[in-house]
Amino acid sequence: MRNSDARYAVLLAGGVGSRFWPQSRTLEPKQFLRLGRDKSLFRRSLERIHSLIPAKNIYIVTSPLYGDIIRSETASFNIPLSNLIFEPTPKNTAPAIALAAKIIFDRCKDEDASVAVLPCDQQITNKNRFSLLIRRAFANCRDRFVVFGIPPHRPAMGYGYIKAPSKGSFGPANILRRVERFCEKPDLKTAKKFLKQGSYFWNSGIFVGSVGVFLSAIRTHLPLLLKQVSAAASAEGEEGLASWNRIRPVSFDYGVMEKTRNAAMIPADGLGWSDLGSWQAWDELQRKDKNSNLLLADIVDIGSRDLTVLGREHLIATIGLKGLIVVDTPDALFIADKKKSEDVKQVVDILKKKNREEHFCHVTVKRPWGSYTVLETGPGFKIKLVEVLPGRSLSLQLHRKRSEHWVVIQGQATITNGKGRYRVHKNESTFIPKGHRHRLENREKTILKIVEVQTGASLTETDIVRFQDSFGRTKPHQFISESRG
């Protein structure tokens, strides 16, 4: 089958950024944050590309850690589950892109089909301009990469640069420029020179090319990688996993783009683009009040200026602060000089070294069936508030080291407990002894809330034996999801 008009998108959604800690966590990285908006960056990225490309042609490469979030965020777009590609371990962008290109080609057998590879943790406010530029890129990518270069407005050190002088313009209405070279992140002096010189653009990480362009460039510049990725994708279970694990991590910029001579750039001005690389970068894009404050919290402030506060249901009082950002979450509070907020990465590194949990997940953990919040832990006990969505159920499971008391505080629970199965109504409770197989189900049309008091010598999330699960969590790793069901 050949269809040179076919268009595909690959969203790279596997990043584990720590720059928005404490809102971002390993289990909830930047792309899934709302950051004061109504939708996550991932979802906004998906909406942008969905208006250009049919759902069946949108692929998402991500980590198994984000399977639940991705399945839930993509459900309303009708993106096939078989388009969700899971990297068993992160290997940077080149293996992710190679894997997606390989899978797309295996399915469409069309080297001329166009593919747009897109990060999904950036902000782009001008959606029409974005659509226009993507269409232009598609129209010109059969034989080359077309990359998006953002005209710089400050000597940023945090980006790679693309050198593409205006004298190298070509194509219809001169919309393309020949790429002279890709440059790694510069020091400040070099960045200033780039800015002054005028031929340098920020590398947005948006790459468009035909399937053939992608595969042949990878074959040329990373031949071993392509073999390893193909082996991993075509093998089952443990064998595929082993192939993947042998891959050496490398970025697509470094491994392919810096080496290819086959790239053009579209000057992507007017997108309202930001990579939101730090709290400060995000903060600069927000609308402030007359004192230059942004106070999204339950807050009493007296006389602060240039203050940004992201809170929760927890009172905050501030007096006379200036130039600070405060981010409060149930288990961690962050207060920083805005100009130094990038150092949050150091904080996260320290937390990792100390084996703390606050970099890994929030106290409220989302699950495919709903969520749970740890309210309190102490020696021998843990108290959780568990919410189960209508029609969902937890896996049939048992715990070897703990028993559980459940009090229903909202809705109605259907409970499997050992050999029994019964209903527990609001204001009733039940007891799950240690070692009993049990399952919590919500067969009603409203949310079920229970308070769970766990008691036992060991109270870890790993003390769980799953027998049946509606979300495929009893199976080993697979690169591609099964169909939704």
List residues binding a copy of itself (CB under 8 A): 21-22, 300, 302-303, 314-322, 324, 326, 328, 331-337, 339-341, 343-344, 346-347, 350-351, 356, 358, 373, 375-376, 378-381, 383, 385, 403, 405, 407, 409-410, 426-427, 429, 431, 449, 451, 453, 455-456
213 within 8 A of 114, measured Cβ to Cβ: no
Q: Angle at the Cα of 175 (from 171 to 177), degrees rounded to 5? A: 80
Q: Shortest gap between Cβ of 426 and a copy of itself (angstroms)?
A: 7
Give the β-pairing of 176-178 and 169-170: antiparallel
Q: How far apart are CA 371 and CA 449, in angstroms?
A: 10
Of 398, 399, 396, 392, the residue nearest 370 (C-alpha): 392
CB nearer a copy of itself, residue 235 or residue 375? 375
Dihedral (Cα; 356, 362, 368, 371), 10-degree rounding? 120
The token duo for 9 is 């998108």
409 within 8 A of 451, measured Cβ to Cβ: yes
CB nearer a copy of itself, residue 216 or residue 455? 455
Q: Shortest gap between Cβ of 482 and a copy of itself (angstroms)?
A: 36
- Residue 384 β-bridge partners: 374, 452
Q: How far apart are CA 317 and CA 64, in angstroms?
A: 40
Q: How far apart are CA 459 and CA 402, in angstroms?
A: 7
Cβ count within 10 A of residue 166 = 10
CB nearer a copy of itself, residue 281 or residue 409? 409
Give the β-pairing of 308-310 and 324-329: parallel
CB nearer a copy of itself, residue 237 or residue 320? 320
Q: Shortest gap between Cβ of 333 and a copy of itself (angstroms)?
A: 5
Q: What is the DSSP string of 437-478?
A: -EEEE--SSS-EEEEEEEEES---TT--EEEE-TTSTTS---
Q: Shortest gap between Cβ of 132 and a copy of itself (angstroms)?
A: 40
- Residue 337 β-bridge partners: 324
CB nearer a copy of itself, residue 30 or residue 449? 449
Terminal C-alpha separation, the chain: 29
CB nearer a copy of itself, residue 380 or residue 476? 380
Q: Shortest gap between Cβ of 72 and a copy of itself (angstroms)?
A: 23
Q: Shortest gap between Cβ of 325 and a copy of itself (angstroms)?
A: 9
Q: Shortest gap between Cβ of 427 and a copy of itself (angstroms)?
A: 4
Give the β-pairing of 294-296 and 84-86: unpaired
CB nearer a copy of itself, residue 106 or residue 428? 428
φ, ψ of residue 77 to 5 degrees: the values are -90, -5
CB nearer a copy of itself, residue 10 or residue 450? 450
CB nearer a copy of itself, residue 380 or residue 420? 380
Give the β-pairing of 381-388 and 370-378: antiparallel
Q: Shortest gap between Cβ of 340 and a copy of itself (angstroms)?
A: 4
Q: E strands, 96-160, where?
A: 114-119, 123-124, 145-150
Of 284, 375, 276, 278, the residue nearest 334 (C-alpha): 278
Q: Shortest gap between Cβ of 334 and a copy of itself (angstroms)?
A: 5
Q: Shortest gap between Cβ of 21 and a copy of itself (angstroms)?
A: 8
CB nearer a copy of itself, residue 1 or residue 319? 319
Cβ count within 10 A of residue 385 = 16
What is the DSSP-derived secondary structure letter of residue 442? -
The token duo for 277 is 């690389």
Write down the residue that tokens 């053009």 correspond to.
264
Q: Shortest gap between Cβ of 36 and a copy of itself (angstroms)?
A: 19
Q: Shortest gap between Cβ of 291 and a copy of itself (angstroms)?
A: 15
What is the DSSP-derived secondary structure letter of residue 65? G
Residues 6+ apart with CB under 8 A from 260: 145, 217, 220, 221
CB nearer a copy of itself, residue 281 or residue 453? 453
Amino acid, res. 103: I
Q: Is 153 helix (H, G, I), strand (E, B) or coil?
A: coil
CB nearer a copy of itself, residue 303 or residue 420? 303
